[in-house]
Each structure stands twice: as structure tokens, then as C-alpha cells.
Structure 1
Amino acid sequence: MHVSVSSNDLNRLGSDLKAAGRKDLQKEALKRMRRKVEPIRPEIQRAVRATPGGTDDLRSRKARSERPRRLRDATARGVQVKASLSGKYAGVRLRIDPRHFPDGDKNLPKYLEGTMPRWRSPMWGRDQWKQQRPRPYFFVTIRPHIPAVQADVAKVIKETMDELGGGS
């Protein structure tokens, strides 16, 4: 069985709830959609922390003190679940919040995943650069959950629409 939920369905639900003045239903629908995706969040955090790599003790003490948090830890802390019933990103989504990274490093999770084409970094103490390999963790982890989440979100939409129709 294939279930698809488009952002148009969610936009329509959001506008219907707004027209009916049912903010309570809207808040409940958003909460239920986030609750369906929330169990995937720790899986992504575990997956990103389990990716191999890192320079460990190869970095100087000064380099470790200037940037003490590691890429994988910052990426894991930045995993968020967002839900919306309006706008361009209507739906429920998992994302990595770039605010957990310093300026200039906000694309590092994309490089780590491999969605950006090339990932180079300087070798410590040298003028040479090395090409780093991506270590996919995000899409590999969520792919098995997509059909169930789509079905759950479709169910939330249907139940909310039924309650909106029955309550007015």
C-alpha cells in the first residue's frame, strides 16, 4: 500500500482550521504529527554519532580548545522535528539546525551526508588539503520509516478533518 500526503493537503487543512477558528485543533494536529516522527530523531542521533572519522588526538591543544565540539556531536544535537500546516514547507520534517555550527561551517552536515559535492579540509599544521569522504547517516536512517510516517500523517489529517466537520 502506498500512501502519499502532499503539502497541498496540509495547506488546505491549515486554511480550513484557520477559517473555522479552531486553533486548538491545529495545535493538536501539529503535536500529533510531530509525535509520529519524534521516535526517528534518536535513531538519527545515534547514526551520526556512530559514523567513523575524526582526527582525535591529531589536533593540537589550541585547535581543540578553539573548537571543542566535534562535528558529529554538533550534528546530533541539531536534529529537530518541525511541523507546519501552511507555507512552503507544510508537513512534518526532520532537519539539522545549522545554528549549532559556527559561521562558515553551517554546511558541514550536508557534506557529511554527501548531499554537497565535495568536502575538503586542511591538514593540521600544513598547507595541504585533503578530500574527505561522506558518511551518509540521515537519509539511510529515515528511509525505512517514510511509508509509516506518511500513513500516520494521512490518518492525522483525516481525523482532524472529521473532527472539524463534526464539530462545526
Structure 2
Amino acid sequence: MQTTSQIAPVNIGIAEKDRKEIAEGLSRLLADTYTLYLKTHNFHWNVTGPLFNSLHLMFEQQYNELALAVDVLAERIRTLGYPAPGSYSEYAELASIEETRGVPEAEEMVRLLVEANEAVVRTARSVFPAAERAHDESTADLLTERMSIHEKTAWMLRSNLK
């Protein structure tokens, strides 16, 4: 991961090595979030069945929130002085979430989204130690917010399963 601080040094009270470690963790979180965004949007377009309307609307709310989240994550990486990953190939390398090909049944979509939201929580949680060691409260706040959102989303989705 290359720093962008050659343009202008980043002096925000966090050591270079710590900023790098945090940016790498946030890059994994960005990749997971973008992969979840794509999966959720795909399911929004393709869901069918008796729960179509409620799931279609729920998925839309979720992918809209995720679209905003990827921007916030990428901007935090940039604030730390590093380029944010922004290609499918980078996301495929960094993400812990598998893409879903084809069109699963509605209940399987929900199950896959529960798993993916929980994976995002685990990725966010894995970045915490580096942020805490560096006293990077801004990143810690961002991670806390993302975990809370994904934990609640997983619960709401899980409530649709039998």
C-alpha cells in the first residue's frame, strides 16, 4: 500500500506505520462493504415471491445506506494518507465476502445477507486493535458505527428467516 503523503505530509498525531496498518484494515472493510452493497443491490433487483415487496424495499434501504458507507470509508483511508482501493479486482483480493452468482430464492438471499453483514462486523472488529493502539478515535468511532449498523441489519434480516 503506497502512501500519498509524498504530496503533502500527513501529521495528524498518528505514526506512519499505524496509519498504514489502519488504512489496510479499512481497505478490507471497504472491500467487504462494497461487495455487500453489490450483493444487496443484486438481490433487490432479482427478489421474487410472496415477500417481494417487503424484501425489495428492505434491500433498497440497505444498499442505499451501504452506498453512503463506502464513501465514508474511502474518505477515512484518504484522510490517513493512503489511496482507497476502487476496483473489482482489488475488492476480490481484499474481501472476506463471496460474491453470489445467479439468483437464489428469496429466503436464501436473506440468509446470505445475514452472513455477509456478520462478516462485515467481524472485519470492522478486526481493525479495532490497531485503531486503539494508535489512539485513532476517528477510526474507532467509524468502526463502532459500522458494526452497530451491520449487527442491527443482520438481526432484521434474520427475523425474516424461519
TM beyond 0.5: no
Specify which structure has the higher proportion of helix: 2
Specify which structure has the higher proportion of strand: 1
* Pair member with larger Rg: 1
TM-score, normalised to structure 2's length? 0.32
